[in-house]
Chains A and B, each alone.
Chain A
Amino acid sequence: MMDWLVTPLRHIGARIINAIWRLGFILRFFAALLLVSGQSFTRLHLTLREIWFTGVLSLSIIMVSGLFIGMVLGLQGYEILQRFGSGDALGIMVALSLARELGPVVAGLLFASRAGSAVTAEIGLMKATEQLQAMDMMAVNPLARVAAPRFWGGVISMPLLAAIFSTAGVFGGWLIGVVVIGVDHGSFWSQMQASVDFRIDIVNGFIKSVVFALAVSLIAVFEGYDCHPTAEGVSRAITRTVVQSALTILALDFVLTSFMFRGLS
């Protein structure tokens, strides 16, 4: 009689409870990961190897994307600023948008789909082919040997990638603004230097990228570790990594931004 109401409600309730359970699992996993991280730092080459795979091999996509975003910012920014007669402020606009927002966020999104998905796939396949179990049987903790290095590899590389992204973006903005459109070279850089604050803009942007790095790496490692050990399970886990990372980055960005930049000036 009330089925039309009860069934969807029940469905929503089940999903919410499930999501809370999962959040609990992730946090417990995070605690376990931190607990064994000491071990994996004593064997630095494992983490360095992951920095190579997740960080260095993502360099090209990060640099190219940064360059294009910067070039678009140059075009759009100049067009808008020009309306107010302040085309010379292009440098400020490009640098601030990149350092505060686009650098951490877009680099985070790219990192999640380039490196996060790869980490999930790798760990998931190792699970599906009993490799994690085999390690456990050889008295080697897979959390310390497989998960922790990948987690820290991501946490270390992503903020660096975000910085490189922003740098490439500023260069792209300069390329369009100064070289192509003809904004004054001197004012482009000097206005940028005068207006970008190290503490407010650079440090806050960096904090953002560190938080995103923690979130994306945790999600990627957890999803791989937690997946159903089948081909379908792994593919679902990869999808979840990308989707959840993206949503988490955007949501966290809103929260962080409202704390960092609320009521400035």
Chain B
Amino acid sequence: MTTATGDELVVLQDVHFGYDPNHVLLRNIHFRVRRGQVVAIMGGSGSGKTTLLRLICGQHAPLSGSVRVMGKDLGRFTHAEKYAVRRRLGMLFQFGALFTDSTVFENVAFPLREHTQLPESIIRDLVLLKLNAVGLRGAAHRYPAELSGGMARRVALARAVALDPELILYDEPFAGLDPISLGIIGQLIRRLNDALGAGSVLVTHDVTESLDIVDYVYFVSEGGIVAEGTPDEIRAATHPFVDQFVHARPDGPVPFHYAAEPLAQALLGRAQ
């Protein structure tokens, strides 16, 4: 954990963000990822995890605070510089976002074809290797519509890492996976990160599985980071939020409901 500051891939400092400037969704976010680290973001549904990833990849600009990725301030990037950073960045979308008109093979080959001049035979080998790593080499000729949700997600993962990125963002890579694939994909994320010497950010709900493979965890709730630490610290933590999350208790500080008037009021209000 004590690497030099030059190894910091992502640094968010005092970031505030809201899709609507009047409605701040994330506040006082301090967040960092170092080279070689796998960092998890956990938190309830709708707490802003995906939003945080969008900030890191420069899809949205923060209202205030700074987002530095690979040593450069994303807020001051031109379009071309942003693309230069994104070329070194892999992103797994929460809903896969595969190209539905291309086969699995072409989906994974897409970044290679767009950004490299590699001959076809090498592209073919690279794609098959990536597909093999997610266990789907046999599905190379299929179309995304013919895959199950979990398979599509694994293809998206293969595509996200096709260019051997330095920073990989995974939005819920484990959703829709059975326990066996889940374990394999978890290990894959860890091994990939170590082999590439990259940094990874992992948004996930699978607390126990991810605690085994990550180096650091951030808990997001109600627009802020409420707890952070190494997996050991997290397991030992007494913070009510972390305790509730790690042990999946229904009652605690995490609200299940999206902010709204009380149910009784909503129902009675209609009756009046």
Contact = CB atoms under 8 A, between A and B. Distances in A.
B110 interface: yes
B111 interface: yes
Interface residues of B, number: 19
A230 interface: no
B83 A139 contact: yes
Interface string A124-159: 011001110110111111000100000000000000
Residue in A126, A130, A136, A137 with the greatest tally of chain B CB atoms within 10 Å: A137
A129 B95 contact: yes
Contact of A134 (B87, B93, B101): B93
Contacts of A141: 83
Contacts of A126: 99-100
Nearest to B110: A138
Contacts of B59: 133, 136-137
A129 B98 CA distance: 8
A131 B111 CA distance: 13
Contact of A133 (B84, B87, B93, B110): B93
A145 B115 CA distance: 13
Interface string B86-114: 11010101010111110000000011001
A134 B115 contact: no
Interface string B57-79: 10100000000000000000000
A131 B93 CA distance: 10
Contacts of A125: 100
Interface string B112-126: 001100000000000
A257 to B, nearest CB: 39
Contact of A139 (B84, B95, B99): B84
Interface of B: 57, 59, 83-84, 86-87, 89, 91, 93, 95, 97-101, 110-111, 114-115
